[in-house]
Amino acid sequence: MKYQTRNKLEHGTSFFISVIVNSVLLLGMLHFITMEPDDTSETTTVMVIDEEEFVELDDPIEEEIIEEPLDMEEFVDVDLPTFETEIDTSFDVEPEVVQTPTDTNVNELSSLLSDIVSPVQMTNLMPGRTSAARQAALNRYAGGRGGATEAAVQRALQWLASVQRADGSWGKDSSAGSGNAGYTGLALLTFLSNGQTPSSAEYGQTVSRAIRYLVEDQGADGKFQSGSEVYAHPMATYALAEAYTMTNNRLLREPLLKAARVIIENQMEDGGFPGPGGNPGYHYGGGGRSDNSVNAWHVQCMKALEIASRTHNLEFPGLNQALQKAMDGMMALSSQRSNGLAFEYTRANSGSRHILTAAGALALQFTGRGNSRASSQSLNFITQGSPPEWGNSPNPREYGGTINLWYYAIQALFHNNPDGRAFQEYNRGMAEALIANQHERGYWNCFTRRGSGQGPVYNTTLAALSLMVYYRYLPTTQANQIQARPPQREQIPDDDDIITITL
């Protein structure tokens, strides 16, 4: 009996212990399953979406909506260069609705600007700015010097990036000091013309900081505040217009609308824009007389605005009329010479102006007058004499310098006939001169006194833009081929068109 009783007790005890152990294990498993994951560890998630994974959807997927969006103010003080995460993505964009501009919340804009994800708009508009198309254009138009010219451009971009100020701006040179919207606009144009955007692996942060500086530099009245107003404003607007065209970044819509309104509302009766002579000179609304060195930048700027308008259905009231009126104003400051049509600075400052004649020839191309008699006569004027040569200037006393002359002339000749003899000869001399005389650090400074006085940033941007004429021309010339973006979902972009935002 004792033996049997002992067995029963041992069996009962074992059963009871087993029940307790299993219960503890069960409770532990339930706690493990229901326990929330620990999010305290710092991780970086990279999502790479292959092109094959993109599909067009008729209806949005509600499950992808983020119920609690991140508070972007938390990222205002983030030091962008310390991040290396890349997000490769693209998405459809709904049709845009034109709205009257309101006051911009600059703090919100600057905090989001480098984070916005936008598909690069290059199809049928900027095909020359993709890597493959750049190479094709260099092979066709660079006269066998494409490898050397592109290497020079890359050295220039590296130098420009190295002297960008901490606030995203550029000044006259690489020394410390306040930024300038004009120099910053030219530098930004140089990166954009090479196909560089906020998504670019090497120069994405450089481009983002430049865009941010210009947006924050814009005052409530729409004017850019740093730099000589009537030069800096069109240069900065030109750059933002191309940035908007290439990225469709909607945060640039309002700054562009305000900047365009400044230009249109301050155009003088003769179509020009104020130069010196008023009080104060070189300021909107300050009086003065029409100056073709100022007018030329406004024509380029308005052409870029027109392309942005036609690409993304963004209306700039009065822009087309102002563009043609500006060309009329430039023509009013021109005169017939024995060797062609010459453009002058002002009515009180006339003479044989090679730089301004080249600028006028380019403006005629931009305003649809490339087949006019005035166009052929102005081109004849600037091609007189020998091809470009370093150290040889048709007029060394001209303001702006010889690199400035080459910048306008090579574009005008290219748009007139890129396969013509005039372009090929001018291109040979210009390209060889710039390639051979680039500083080892990557910058240029003009050999004339008034050219070098503009500083290395000005000369480097214009020289690099001249060497990119082979593939950057579509944004500002072939507007007749530009179609407004249709009001439906966009097609899946090619690999070169997928933007990669680098934070």
Residues of each domain in the chain carrying CATH 1.50.10.20: 163-332
- Position 494 scores a pLDDT of 39
Q: How would residue 50 be classed by pLDDT, with cut points 50, 70 and 90?
A: very low
Q: How would residue 74 be classed by pLDDT, with cut points 50, 70 and 90?
A: very low
pLDDT > 60? residue 285: yes
Stretch 134-158: mean pLDDT, rounded? 95
Handedness of CA 118, 123, 128, 132 (dihedral sign): positive
Highest mean pLDDT among 132-136, 277-281, 370-374, 492-496: 370-374
- Position 424 scores a pLDDT of 96
Q: How would residue 53 be classed by pLDDT, with cut points 50, 70 and 90?
A: very low
Q: How many residues does the chain have?
A: 503
Q: How would residue 175 be classed by pLDDT, with cut points 50, 70 and 90?
A: confident
Stretch 257-281: mean pLDDT, rounded? 92
The first and second tokens of residue 116, run together, are: 């916005």
- Position 47 scores a pLDDT of 29
Residue pointed to by tokens 């490898």 = 147
The first and second tokens of residue 90, run together, are: 């693209």
pLDDT > 60? residue 493: no
pLDDT > 50? residue 488: no
Q: How many CB atoms lie under 10 A from the CB of residue 283?
A: 17
pLDDT > 70? residue 278: yes
Among 304, 111, 129, CA closest to 208: 111
Q: How would residue 277 be classed by pLDDT, with cut points 50, 70 and 90?
A: confident
pLDDT > 80? residue 64: no
| Strand-pair category, 499-502 with 86-89 | antiparallel
- 50 or 410, which is more confident: 410
Stretch 402-418: mean pLDDT, rounded? 96
- Position 468 scores a pLDDT of 97
pLDDT > 90? residue 439: yes
- Position 474 scores a pLDDT of 59
Q: How would residue 311 be classed by pLDDT, with cut points 50, 70 and 90?
A: confident
Long-range pairs of 299-302 with CB within 8 A, sequence gap ≥ 24: 299/323, 299/326, 299/327, 299/330, 299/363, 299/366, 299/367, 300/234, 300/238, 300/362, 300/363, 300/366, 300/476, 301/234, 301/235, 301/237, 301/238, 301/241, 301/263, 302/260, 302/263, 302/326
| Strand-pair category, 334-337 with 340-343 | antiparallel
Q: What is the pTM of this model?
A: 0.74
- 501 or 298, which is more confident: 298
Determine the topology of domain 163-332 in CATH. Answer: Glycosyltransferase (1.50.10)
Q: How would residue 218 be classed by pLDDT, with cut points 50, 70 and 90?
A: very high
Among 93, 65, 78, 120, CA closest to 493: 120
Stretch 290-302: mean pLDDT, rounded? 97
pLDDT > 70? residue 481: no
Stretch 347-365: mean pLDDT, rounded? 89
Among 419, 386, 486, 473, CA closest to 92: 486
pLDDT > 60? residue 414: yes
- Position 338 scores a pLDDT of 84
Q: Which of 104-118, 177-191, 371-385, 394-408 has the lowest mean pLDDT?
A: 104-118
